[in-house]
């Protein structure tokens, strides 16, 4: 088995702020007729096959898999997988870490008894894995949140979803947005939002991805920036006061994020 691109560890050892799940490593492997693995893993590692076919053996069951199918390593569950020598395979894999991994994997439909399945949209599954892999290779500024957004979009195309009731999702989203908009100045974060709504991070992220295409972290930041822009345009408050009124922990952090997201400084934006 050869790796097209040498796997890299992410420079962040822990999940980003507000997340309970993180990507430790991503890889894209190509088999050459002799790919055969036998593991007793202690971590979660979903795979998606992008070419060829093979066999996955776990829990005494043998399952044939091919392009578009997903399978995973599950802590404590012995697994063996190998390619069809007459139909060499390629696949992406994602080594996940963080306390939210079990819940996240369950939201996708995986369990220690259900190691492999075919997603509802195999083409999109491959695209999500591919995009995550590409972002992992570049590791640019803000890519960690783009990766989180992609990770939390995966359960939507898997056979099992935490919240199948669309109305329920809309209610959660509406309540979350109302709380965020009303509590901008108080620096409400994702953990507090989940506690107030009595839902998990996984559910919150998945609802926001479904409703807006972005994570709740990105949504909160967007609303804070909009509030800051309004204050810069329509008031004479100092930058430090605007940072506080927009929910930023410090004026230095506010100025750094403003430059990163708007391409200019708050003062320059105000003068324009």
**Could you report the per-residue pLDDT of 151-197, keeping only the tens digit for each?**
988 988 887 544 445 556 778 888 898 888 888 888 788 888 988 98
Q: What number does CATH give the domain 2-157?
A: 2.60.120.280
According to CATH, the superfamily of the domain at 164-272 is Homeodomain-like (1.10.10.60)
Q: Which of 271, 255, 30 is nearest to 263 (CA)?
A: 255
What pLDDT, in 10s, does the model give residues 219-255? 899 999 999 999 999 998 999 999 999 988 888 999 9
Domains of the chain by residue range:
2-157, 164-272
Q: Which of 95, 115, 93 is nearest to 106 (CA)?
A: 115
Q: How far apart are the first and last CA of the chain?
A: 57
Alpha helices in 13-142 (DSSP H): 101-108, 122-138
Q: How far is CA 141 from the centre of its chain?
A: 16
The model's pTM: 0.68
Asked whether 225 and 259 are in contact (CB, 8 A), the reply is: no
2-157 and 164-272 agree in CATH topology: no
State how far the Cα of 191 lies from the Cα of 114, in Å rounded to an integer: 30
* Between 11 and 67, the higher pLDDT residue: 67
**Residue 243's pLDDT is what?**
92
The most confident of the ranges 17-31, 60-74, 94-108, 175-189 is: 60-74
Helix (H, G, I), strand (E, B) or coil at 145: helix
145 pLDDT above the threshold of 50: yes
């Amino acid at each position: 088995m050869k790796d097209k691109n040498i796997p890299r560890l992410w420079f962040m050892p822990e999940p980003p702020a507000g997340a309970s799940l993180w990507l430790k490593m991503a890889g894209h492997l190509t088999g050459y007729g002799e790919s055969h693995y036998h593991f007793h893993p202690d971590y979660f590692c979903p795979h998606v096959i992008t070419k060829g076919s093979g066999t996955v053996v776990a829990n005494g069951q043998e399952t044939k898999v091919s392009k578009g199918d997903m399978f995973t390593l599950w802590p404590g569950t012995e697994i063996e997988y190998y390619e069809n020598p007459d139909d060499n395979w390629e696949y992406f894999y994602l080594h996940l870490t963080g306390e939210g991994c079990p819940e996240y994997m369950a939201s996708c439909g995986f369990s220690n008894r259900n190691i492999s399945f075919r997603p509802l949209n195999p083409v999109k599954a491959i695209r999500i894995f591919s995009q995550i892999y590409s972002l992992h290779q570049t590791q640019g500024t803000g890519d960690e949140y783009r990766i989180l957004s992609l990770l939390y979009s995966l359960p939507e195309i898997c056979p099992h979803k935490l919240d199948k009731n669309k109305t329920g999702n809309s209610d959660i989203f509406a309540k979350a947005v109302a709380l965020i908009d009303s509590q901008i100045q108080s620096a409400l974060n994702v953990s507090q939002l989940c506690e107030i709504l009595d839902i998990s991070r996984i559910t919150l992220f998945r609802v926001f991805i479904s409703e807006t295409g972005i994570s709740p972290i990105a949504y909160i930041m967007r609303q804070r920036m909009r509030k800051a822009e309004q204050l810069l345009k329509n008031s004479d408050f100092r930058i430090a006061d605007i940072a506080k009124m927009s929910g930023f922990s410090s004026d230095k952090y506010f100025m750094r994020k403003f430059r990163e997201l708007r391409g200019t400084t708050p003062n320059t934006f105000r003068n324009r």
